[in-house]
Amino acid sequence: MIEPSTFVALNRFGLGARPGDVAAMGGNPHGWVLDQIAHGQADPVPGVGDTPGRLHMVDAFFKAKQEADKLDAARQAALDGTGKPVVPPVVGKPKPGILDQPPGKVLDADSARRIDQMVATDWPVSERLAAFWANHFSVTNLRGEIAVSALPYENEAIRPNVFGTFHDMLCATAVHPAMTYYLDAASSVGPDSVWGAKHKRAVNENFAREVMELHTLGVNGGYTQADVQQLALVLTGVGLDRAAGESAFYYDRHEPGDRVLLGHRLPADGDQMRAAFDILANHPATVRHICRKLAVHFCGDMPPPGVVKRLADAWRQSGGALPAVYRALVAAPEAWVARPLKYRSPQDFVLAAGRAFGLRGRGRPLLEEMKQLGQMPYGAPAPTGWPDQDSVWLDPGGAVGRVSSARRIASLAGPDVDAAGVLPQVVYATANSVTFDVVLAEPNPRNAAALVLASPEFQRR
């Protein structure tokens, strides 16, 4: 049976054990997690284009689709009363731009690549942290532009900053085109700006509210409606240069004048937005909010206040350097409690199952399992991201779905899968657990593998 600290290292800090991972750890789980953090990078998912290229592609796709639809409409209009065309039919349709498939299919392909990386990676702690931050700064596929830029957003704004500072990640995510599309930042115009006065446009507070409520200070972060309004005016001018496929700042749309945010005066100069992010990133409410979210993810839904305080102390002492916060988390006894603390989300469950049976290159079917279980990548129902509380995922319908999913994933492992050999590495069971007896008594290897994945112990980390 797996040692408790080894289980915690591989499952709570990592994404689940692969065959051989327990032996490779060398009996030093704390050291293994610290080595993972010292690696200091979250690799970009390969095979994914950059955001400017993707946005150009989606523009070309929709333009070509529009032309093809016009040709079809013209052909239909040319039919006479007999139903026979009086003009030659259009042979085929124009190729839909540079994209060879609709944006939603591009997102599926990207998500499958992401799953492949997370299942095969030697650096699962980095991957867990990248997923945590991508969910914190969540974008949801609401339109084609977001679909094609969601994973580039993660590659460009999240992963390079996982081992940097929170401030830099906040700045990178806030102005990325995917976030700009998602929170409609470009629709916010200063009413007294040159462009706003001419076109009678007004400020949109949605972007500012989400940055304060979700990304930084938290719901009870001590800000007022006046602070939301002031930040909204600071953020006017953020927009998109469609020709370049990049975010841009339009000074003629920016509200002129000084602002006052959380008691700090922000002069009317070119650094006003960055100064606002400096205030938000280092505010005590932000530190508490983010440190508590980390503690919930690694220490359970109701983390002891002491661990949140120690994470916050590490944040302040390091100036917001995230590796210092991670090391404080590894040093916290609350993160190493022997019993499993969290019910696995569908994403966690599928990734751990894929790693348990070495399902490299099976991103597509594993993506379908995530969809079936209700957690499509980049599909969170709100800007809050996917919930990180057991009660959301722990329901009878979800449990039945996991049994079915366990059978399908086990079938991917092949007819000769060694469930008995895998079982001690992936399940932390108490002495009175019947899971080992049930699995070892099953003569069919695939059925035995399904029993491992469907076991109560495998559902928790």
Q: What is the pLDDT of residue 396?
A: 83
Q: What is the DSSP string of 54-98?
A: HHHHHHHHHHHHHHHHHHHHHHHHTB-TTS-BSSPPP-S----SS
Query: Distance of CA 165 to CAs 6, 109, 323, 405, Å?
Result: 29, 30, 8, 38
Between CA 425 and CA 436 the distance in angstroms is: 12
Mean pLDDT across 36-58: 94
Average pLDDT, the chain: 91
Q: What is the pLDDT of residue 447?
A: 96
Written as one letter, the residue type at 157 is A
Q: Flag whether pLDDT at 87 surpasses 80.
A: no
CB of 357 closer than 8 Å to CB of 415: no
Query: Per-residue pLDDT tens for 247-265?
Result: 899 999 999 999 999 999 9
Q: Sorting pLDDT into bands at 50, 70 and 90, what band is 96?
A: very low
Between CA 369 and CA 359 the distance in angstroms is: 13
Nearest to 18 by CA among 129, 159, 118, 130: 118
Q: What is the pLDDT of residue 201?
A: 86
Between CA 16 and CA 427 the distance in angstroms is: 10
CB of 125 closer than 8 Å to CB of 153: no
Between CA 154 and CA 377 the distance in angstroms is: 12
**258 alpha carbon, distance to own chain's centre:** 35
Between CA 427 and CA 353 the distance in angstroms is: 11
Q: Flag whether pLDDT at 179 surpasses 90.
A: yes
Mean pLDDT across 2-19: 94
Q: Flag whether pLDDT at 91 surpasses 50.
A: no
Which structure tokens are listed for 443? 């003569």
Nearest to 42 by CA among 115, 117, 111, 147: 117
Q: What is the pLDDT of residue 98?
A: 54
Between CA 185 and CA 35 the distance in angstroms is: 39
Q: What is the pLDDT of residue 100?
A: 67
Question: Among positive and negative, which fits the CA dihedral 193, 198, 200, 206?
Answer: negative
Query: Per-residue pLDDT tens for 343-361?
Result: 999 999 999 999 999 999 9
Mean pLDDT across 329-342: 94
Q: Which is more confidently placed, 325 or 430?
A: 325
Between CA 44 and CA 154 the distance in angstroms is: 8
Query: Per-residue pLDDT tens for 347-403?
Result: 999 999 999 999 999 999 999 999 999 999 999 999 999 999 999 999 888 889 999
Q: Flag whether pLDDT at 183 surpasses 70.
A: yes
Please state whether 360 falls in left (phi above 0), alpha (psi between -120 and 50) or beta.
Answer: beta
Query: Distance of CA 18 to CAs 105, 117, 146, 426, Å?
Result: 29, 13, 33, 8
Which structure tokens are listed for 35? 């080595």
Which structure tokens are listed for 2? 């797996």
Tell me the percentage of the chain whose pLDDT exceeds 90: 78
Query: What is the bridge-based pairing of β-strands 246-249 and 238-241?
Result: antiparallel
Q: Flag whether pLDDT at 275 surpasses 70.
A: yes
Mean pLDDT across 190-216: 94
Mean pLDDT across 185-200: 92
Q: Sorting pLDDT into bands at 50, 70 and 90, what band is 82?
A: low
Q: What is the pLDDT of residue 93?
A: 47
Half-sphere exposure of 72 (CA within 13 A, CB side): 9
Query: Which of 20-29, 32-41, 166-175, 327-336 has the least mean pLDDT?
Result: 20-29
Angle at 129 between CA 124 and CA 132, to 5 degrees: 125
Query: Distance of CA 432 to CAs 422, 424, 428, 429, 436, Å?
Result: 20, 15, 12, 8, 10
Nearest to 148 by CA among 43, 244, 57: 57
Between CA 58 and CA 52 the distance in angstroms is: 10
Q: Flag whether pLDDT at 3 surpasses 70.
A: yes
Between CA 138 and CA 132 the distance in angstroms is: 10
> Phi first, then psi: what are they for 265, rounded to 5°?
-85, 130
Q: What is the pLDDT of residue 148?
A: 96
Q: What is the pLDDT of residue 67?
A: 64
Q: Flag whether pLDDT at 89 surpasses 70.
A: no
Q: Sorting pLDDT into bands at 50, 70 and 90, what band is 340?
A: confident
